[in-house]
Amino acid sequence: MDRFDVIVIGAGPAGSSAAYSLAKEGFSVLLIERGKFPGSKNVFGGRIYTYPLKRLFPEDWREAPIERYVVQENISMLSGDTAVTVQYDSLRTGSSRVNSFTAIRLKFDKWLAKRAGEVGAMVITGTRVDDLLVSNGTVFGVRAGGDEVKANVIIAADGVASIFAQKAGIRPELIPKEISVGVKETIKLTKKRIEDRFNVGEKEGVANAYIGQVTNFLRGGGFLYTNKDSVSLGVVVQSEDLSSHRTEIQELMERFKLHPSIQKYIEGGKVVEYSAHMIPELGTRMIPRPYANGFLAVGDAAGFVLSHGYTYRGVDLAILSGMAAAETVKAARAVNDYSAGSLSRYLHDLRSHGVLSELEEFGRTPSFLGNPRIYSAYPQLLCGILNRMYTVDGGKKEKMFHIAKEEMKGKISLMQLMKDLLGGTRSM
Amino acid sequence: MPESSELRMVVCIKQVPKAEQLKIDPVKKTLVREGVESEINPSDLHALEMALQLKDKHGGSLLALSMGPPRFIQALETAIGMGADEGILLSDRALGGSDTLPTSHALSKAVEHLGDFDIIFCGEETTDSSTGHVGPGMAANLDLPQLTYVVEVEVRDGHVRAKRAVEDGFEVWETTLPLVITVNHGCNHPREPTLLGKIKARTIGIIDDVNADDVGLDKEKIGLSGSPTVVDKIETVELPDRSGRIYSGEAREAVTKLLDDLEAEGII
Amino acid sequence: MSRAKKSKGVMVFIEFRRDHIRRGSIQLIGEGRRIADILGVKLSGALLGHGVKKYAKEAIQYGLDKVHLVEHPILASYAASPYSKVMVELVEKYKPEIMLLAATKNGRELGGRFYVHLQTGLAADCTAFRVSKGKNLVMIRPAFGGKSLAHIMCKKTRPQMATARPNVFTEPERDPKRKGRIIKENVKLGPEDVDAKMVQFIAHMEDEATRLADADVIVAGGHGIRKADTFGTLQELADVLGGTVGGSRKVVDLRWLSKDRQVGQTGKTVRPNVYVAIGISGAVQHLAGMQESEKIVAINNDPEAEIFKIADFGIVGDLFEIVPEMIRQIKERRPAKEPT
Ligand SMILES: Cc1cc2nc3c(=O)[nH]c(=O)nc-3n(C[C@H](O)[C@H](O)[C@H](O)COP(=O)(O)OP(=O)(O)OC[C@H]3O[C@@H](n4cnc5c(N)ncnc54)[C@H](O)[C@@H]3O)c2cc1C
Ligand SMILES: Cc1cc2nc3c(=O)[nH]c(=O)nc-3n(C[C@H](O)[C@H](O)[C@H](O)COP(=O)(O)OP(=O)(O)OC[C@H]3O[C@@H](n4cnc5c(N)ncnc54)[C@H](O)[C@@H]3O)c2cc1C
Ligand SMILES: Nc1ncnc2c1ncn2[C@@H]1O[C@H](COP(=O)(O)O)[C@@H](O)[C@H]1O
């Protein structure tokens, strides 16, 4: 068999969702993954938003390998040894409206690909796709090793470094400005320790975001997610900032782990996994047309990620874009036309699945979050103010406004503060 | 190639736990199976490669045969990915607990059931039971000549010439088809499964399974009841404690530290 | 063969090669003697060949009570089918309760063939034997690459068969005065019993002077050394350490090193004072042959390599930098001695 209706390259969340949705509709689907098994090479922070999964598997989304439901969110601004934390208690587990959960990609991706296999997609692992077969500007198959396999549509779901979106001519090469680099460690603790230290119940967990000191005040942030019996801890930094400040991300990670507000959580734990990865920060502007003749790009390959200092979202958009691509292919089959013209309705499908609207809504955020003060001046400022407010040393207590003004001196002007605050609320 | 030179071959393969990952539960003294990946038995890959090279040269057919639980299908998929034509899994609860005697009996019966073959290939030995008995055992059951630890083979007009690795050298042997060959580990470079091969492995009908009744096995002669040996107990080996002083970094410094240690131990 | 009450005695297959009885067989005579004495039974040998009576005498001097001597031109050199046929006849005739073979390649393929005709149990590659309270043989063999020992028993059928790993049991003393019976056996063998013929033998050269088994220091190279030439540097390190060179199976398979220098499950088992593993990953089959070395030094550029788990000392780094540096620094520490 060397011909399929659809070939999907990459069994990450985007690829497996597309393959699942198509196979369920009776398409013959070949899903090719280079890793030994799906998820074996994939990195991410550790939190997945629930809504796309509910849409993909309305009946049994809870069977996904969920580590813990996120019931509490914290954002901490770190400076020196101190931290200012804003805590948000979200819905408790009992509710079906639980917003997000933590997961381990090794398990999650494997499960998702298995679901695709169960409805008839042929999942092939341990094979790297080397090239697209293209003739007259139309993609008509893939090459791996010496073998060629053909299909009506090829869906590139090969992740952030997608060579296929580039090969199909729809995406320029990434430049450092558009990339963040992330490192992540999985630190093994016991189930009981996690529940004690984070004050959560059995299936409950927390999602923490950190900015400020963690990146040495560069653009980016840190995260901590609780899994069943481990925590995922990581740092993400704008790669442009990294190189201009000659900072090593590994070093930031090491220092992050030593910060008192992290150390107390991970003490006595054992690092069981370490990984590094790139995250694109393209926004919607970068790939205006994630399709070509016989070709679609989904997930990270199309740049569908939202990442800033304290939110990393990609898996949800990956799943949604996989579903959208399936819709597009279905419509293309109805008219038996897989040209770029016909596939252009992908934009429409992306929008109706909420991918584009999400990205557009946040489209403004990168410029707000691109603002270095968010990562440097403000964490220092806040920590400074609160430090002085709460330090009881027998001296005279000053009024809050004075403290603030003094702390701001030389760091930031009042005007700037007002502007940033306004800009922030508008874009969030 | 003339029809007559085509070879009908079968390779016996087994799925085994990855040797590096094998652990013994220190309390229960049993094999820890959880979280241990499995792979096709390494020397069976060499057997497959040897058979595939013969097929490349002479044409014919290659069938992969495995006996074990359903997960052994993985090994068959690898074999087909590499170029075997078909896979057969002999699977039956009654086979559970078989030692090498019933294993070679059952595999021989399966081979007889599946047709006439010119060459039956086995690996040198498996990494999980490391006996190397199954190949010779099949030769005995099928009353065929056997050549073991083979590193090279040539077939011409029904005559076989093979080189076998022994402790003090190589021996060249001659015999005729049909025969059983066990293949020496490391004698060739097993090819990687191809994309089309993997797709083929998933195609319905390429891998089939048969049970004890299908191949006419007498339940008394297989499984635990058909196995003369029993494992009475497993004892963990206590290895000497190692100090584990491992240095890294700049070569000169690391070597100095290492040599200091060796000197302190009186080794140099 | 069902468990016949009549089964009695221990029988050892006497394997010879070219002009000598193989060491593994001699060692097994010693172990067979020990087992027979515990059970209070006779120890016999099965010797197949042509013009090999001298080996029968020699085998008796190592500790046999009697030898069943089967001579026939077809048996002149080893071949699985006729040897298997004769062994089945001998065992059925004399009904030993225990049948032992050395776990050489030929011993394993022969045992693996004829035990099927006897329908009994066969334990492979044993490294120890015990006799249980019920007078059964406990056949002990490494399992899972030497991480554990499996105790195997064969209670239902006779004989209890095993192959035993060479160089594990100590060689018994030869007593030139020892007497035993040599029983000539008649067998019918014809051309129909010959199904394969050895037509050529290509011998490995063995350097007795630097035998691995006797070395205090072994410098072993693995696939990480990338090419055969690197053994030159390893030899130099071995020279300054006063040792000899060995290697993993991969380098032997690649013909970078001769077979008699292979360490591991299917090579030599060594126990030097110092074992230096260079560019060796530490697969269980390799560890099986060297894990009991007094001290283990590992050099590998992969910090996760298994070999580090059993190393006393080691360096994570590029062997092409480290080995020359070691040679240099050792020489520096020990100013060149006058050759003696
Ligand atoms: C540090 C970090 C933290 C993050 N945290 C979060 C988070 O908490 N929540 C969240 O939702 N998102 C997070 N993200 C983003 C998220 O990981 C991605 O958006 C998501 O994985 C994208 O899915 P995908 O299916 O498009 O691509 P991927 O998951 O990257 O999958 C691509 C697949 O394609 C395969 N592949 C690549 N090339 C080939 C080839 N040539 N042939 C065959 N197969 C190939 C790969 O092996 C891989 O399996 C984080 C990212 C990083 C780096
Ligand atoms: C039935 C059977 C029997 C076997 N019997 C034996 C046996 O008796 N003996 C035996 O040894 N094996 C045996 N094996 C094979 C065994 O499984 C392994 O394949 C073999 O030991 C691997 O050899 P290696 O360590 O040299 O090679 P590899 O596993 O390829 O390891 C090479 C190592 O070199 C390191 N390296 C590479 N480059 C450098 C560098 N520049 N600097 C430093 N380090 C570097 C790598 O990190 C790696 O760890 C047997 C296998 C089977 C199936
Ligand atoms: N369960 C099995 N199914 C198929 N082949 C097997 C099985 N067990 C052993 N073999 C074959 O026999 C060879 C020797 O195995 P063993 O005697 O177990 O060391 C292996 O390399 C395989 O080729």
- For residue A397, the model assigns a pLDDT of 60
- Nearest to A318, CA basis, from A5, A10, A107: A10
How many angstroms does the Cα of residue A9 sit away from the middle of ligand 1?
Answer: 12
| Tokens representing residue B124 in the block | 């040198």
Cα–Cα distance measured from residue A324 to residue A351, given in angstroms and rounded to the nearest whole number: 9
For the purposes of burial, counting CB atoms within 10 Å of the CB of C19, is it exposed (0-12), middle (13-18) or buried (19 or more)? exposed
Distance separating the N- and C-terminal Cα atoms of chain B: 64
C146 and C239 part of one domain: no
Q: Quick one: which ligand is closest to B124's CA?
A: 3
- Give all chains having 3 or more CB-to-CB distances under 8 Å with chain C: B
pLDDT by residue (tens digit) across B172-200?
999 999 999 999 999 999 999 999 999 99
* Alpha-carbon C88 to chain mean position: 24
Range with the lowest mean pLDDT among A105-109, A301-305, A408-412? A408-412
How many angstroms does the Cα of residue A279 sit away from the middle of ligand 1?
Answer: 9
**Strands, E assignment, A129-268:** 131-135, 138-144, 147-156, 179-188, 204-212, 220-226, 230-238
Q: What is the pTM of this model?
A: 0.86
Return the higher-pLDDT residue of C143 and C179: C179
Q: Which of C162, C193, C224 is the last residue of a domain?
A: C193
Q: Which atom of ligand 1 is nearest to the CA of A15?
A: 25
Total domain count, chain C: 2
Determine whether the shortest distance from the Cβ of A43 to ligand 1 is under 6 A.
yes
Q: Tell me if B231 and C150 make a contact (CB, 8 A cut-off).
A: yes
Return the higher-pLDDT residue of B70 and A283: B70
pLDDT by residue (tens digit) across C318-329?
999 999 999 999
Q: In the predicted model, what is the mean pLDDT of chain A?
A: 84
**Strands, E assignment, chain B:** 7-12, 15-17, 23-24, 31-32, 38-40, 60-67, 86-90, 119-123, 146-156, 159-166, 169-176, 179-183, 207-210, 230-236, 245-247
- Nearest to B137, CA basis, from B176, B166, B165, B98: B98
pLDDT by residue (tens digit) across A118-161?
999 999 999 999 999 999 999 999 999 999 999 999 999 998 88
Numbered residues of chain A with Cβ closer than 8 Å to any chain B Cβ: 1-2, 30, 32, 122, 124, 126-127, 144-147, 149
C114 and C21 part of one domain: yes
C110 and C179 part of one domain: yes
- For residue A400, the model assigns a pLDDT of 64
Q: Tell me if A124 and B200 make a contact (CB, 8 A cut-off).
A: no
Residue B42: its H or E element: helix B42-58
| Tokens representing residue C336 in the block | 């060149």
| Tokens representing residue B130 in the block | 């490391």
Assess if CATH 3.40.190.290 describes domain B7-221.
no
Determine whether the shortest distance from the Cβ of A181 to ligand 1 is under 6 A.
no
- Quick one: pLDDT band at residue A244, thresholds 50, 70, 90? confident
Shortest distance between the Cα of B145 and any Cα of chain C, in A, equals: 6
For the purposes of burial, counting CB atoms within 10 Å of the CB of A103, is it exposed (0-12), middle (13-18) or buried (19 or more)? buried
Pocket test for ligand 2, best of C286, C287, C293, C315 (most atoms within 8 A of CB): C286
- Quick one: pLDDT band at residue C189, thresholds 50, 70, 90? very high
Q: Tell me if A122 and B202 make a contact (CB, 8 A cut-off).
A: yes
Q: Tell me if A149 and B203 make a contact (CB, 8 A cut-off).
A: no
Asked if A233 contacts A185 with a C-beta cutoff of 8 angstroms, the reply is yes
Q: What is the CATH number of domain A177-280?
A: 3.30.9.10
Percentage of residues of chain A with pLDDT beyond 70: 82
What residue spans define the domains of chain A?
3-67+104-171+287-353, 177-280, 369-427
Shortest distance between the Cα of A407 and any Cα of chain B, in A, equals: 44
Domain that holds residue C279: 208-337
Cα–Cα distance measured from residue B15 to residue B77, given in angstroms and rounded to the nearest whole number: 11
3-state secondary structure of C11: strand
- For residue C340, the model assigns a pLDDT of 47
- Specify the residue for token string 């949604």: A320
- The dihedral sign for the CA sequence A40, A43, A47, A50: negative
How many angstroms does the Cα of residue B44 sit away from the middle of ligand 2?
Answer: 18
Which chain C residues have a beta carbon less than 8 Å from that of B175? 195-197
The CATH number of A3-67+104-171+287-353, from 1.20.1250.20, 3.20.20.70, 3.30.360.10, 3.50.50.60, is: 3.50.50.60
pLDDT by residue (tens digit) across A37-85?
898 877 677 889 999 999 999 999 999 999 999 988 888 888 878 777 8
Disruptive mutation site among C144, C275, C292 for chain B (greatest number of B CBs within 10 Å): C144
What residue spans define the domains of chain B?
7-221
Half-sphere exposure of A108 (CA within 13 A, CB side): 30
CATH of the domain at C292: 3.40.50.1220
Instruction: Assess whether pLDDT exceeds 80 at residue C74.
Output: yes
Q: Which atom of ligand 1 is nearest to the CA of A128?
A: 42
- Give all chains having 3 or more CB-to-CB distances under 8 Å with chain A: B
C107 and C180 part of one domain: yes
CATH of the domain at C145: 3.40.50.620
pLDDT by residue (tens digit) across C275-321?
999 999 999 899 989 998 999 999 999 998 999 999 999 999 999 99
Residues lining ligand 3, Cβ inside 6 A: B 12-14, 41, 43-44, 47, 65-68, 100, 103, 107, 122-123, 125-126, 129-135
Q: In the predicted model, what is the mean pLDDT of chain B?
A: 92
Q: Which of C193, C216, C243 is the last residue of a domain?
A: C193
- Quick one: pLDDT band at residue A364, thresholds 50, 70, 90? low
- Nearest to C162, CA basis, from C115, C198, C205: C115
Percentage of residues of chain B with pLDDT beyond 70: 95
- The dihedral sign for the CA sequence B150, B155, B160, B161: negative
